[in-house]
Amino acid sequence: MQNDTVTFVIDQKEVRARRGQTILEAAEQAGVYIPRLCHLKGLTPHGSCRVCTVRVNGRYQAACTYPVADDLVVENDTEELRTLRRDLLEMLLVEGNHFCMFCEKSGHCELQALAYRHSIAAPKYPHLWPRREVDASHPDVLLDRNRCVLCGRCVRVSRDVDGKNVFGFVGRGPHRHLGVNSRRGLGGSDLSADDQAVTVCPVGCLLRKRTAFQVPVGQRRFDRQPIGAEVGAGAGSPQPSESPMQ
């Protein structure tokens, strides 16, 4: 019978994992936090943001898609990888229009929280200030593409969890953006404010209307502890909003 357990090393720590797990899943189970943005527990790994990039036996790999195997040597918490992640996060910040000081998602935003975790006070790259469409046609949900990071969470959850296929990507390269399956915009789709696709947005791209700033400063998701702190503490379990199944 095939052995269902594998052993590998991450940051000089030996980890036992279940065969079929990804490096990110196994590391989190062992209390090792690997930063991520497009990944979400319960969804098929996407591997688009590359914030979870690690070195596996000396080569760059996405931890959210790479399967564990015996004798892997994984580097995660190194200055080289911290610098790479800072660069990726800074590029995400400057290629969109992110104004944290008045964004309704401030304190709950995973991009903002990752920037703080990586000591980014202000991006070193020049801002692109793109002109992006805002869709307020839905009675209960706002779609602000200025804040979209193309993580694909809403696309996958709308398709796989909500069963609606409301969202999809349109265009290529710098013109790639989040599309809606209605010519009349979000208001012409069958999206509901209760859909999980709205809940899982890591930034302020999809927001429920009439709910802004209801949580006071100091009580927001990342006000009291940094992103990933629950994993670093050895809990190995995601925060409630990290799973689209809840």
Question: Picking from 87-101, 173-187, 225-239, which range would have the lowest pLDDT averaged per residue?
Answer: 225-239
61 C-beta neighbours (distance < 10 Å), count: 18
- Would residue 141 count as lying in a domain? yes
pTM of structure = 0.91
Interacting residues of 210 by C-beta distance below 8 A, sequence separation 6+: 140
For position 3, what pLDDT does the model report?
79
- Token pair for 165: 């296929």
CATH number at residue 25: 3.10.20.740
pLDDT at 242 over 60: no
**Do 171 and 96 share a structural domain?**
yes
CA dihedral 160, 161, 164, 167 (to 10 degrees): -70
Number of domains in the chain: 2
Same domain, 22 and 109: no
The answer on pLDDT for 246 being more than 70 is no
**210 in the same domain as 96:** yes
Residue 136 domain-assigned?
Answer: yes
Token pair for residue 139? 């009675």
**Cβ contacts of residue 190 below 8 Å, gap of 6+?**
164, 166
Query: Does 100 map to a domain?
Result: yes
For residue 1, pLDDT beyond 80: no
> Is 187 found in the same domain as 149?
yes
Q: How far is CA 112 from the centre of its chain?
A: 11
Say if residue 86 is in the same domain as residue 71. no
46 band by pLDDT with thresholds 50, 70 and 90 = confident
Q: What is the CA radius of gyration of the chain?
A: 18
pLDDT tens for each residue of 57-90: 999 999 999 999 999 999 999 999 999 999 999 9
Last residue of a domain, one of 77, 107, 137: 77
Asked if residues 81 and 55 have their Cβ atoms less than 8 Å apart, the reply is yes
Whole domain around residue 192: which residue ranges?
82-214
Domain boundary among 29, 48, 77: 77
> Distance (Å, rounded) from C-alpha 31 to C-alpha 16?
12
Are residues 86 and 70 located together in one domain of the fold?
Answer: no
Q: Say if CB 25 and CB 32 are below 8 A apart.
A: no
Which of 49, 77, 105 delimits the end of a domain?
Answer: 77
pLDDT at 232: 65
- Reported as a pLDDT band with limits 50, 70 and 90, residue 2 is low
In a domain, 240, yes or no: no
Residue pLDDT, tens place only, 161-179 = 999 999 999 999 889 999 9
Read off the tokens for 185: 């915009």
Q: Which CATH number fits the domain that encloses residue 166?
A: 3.30.70.20
Shared domain check, 90 and 38: no
Identify whether the C-beta of residue 49 lies closer than 8 Å to the C-beta of residue 85.
Answer: no
Same domain, 54 and 104: no
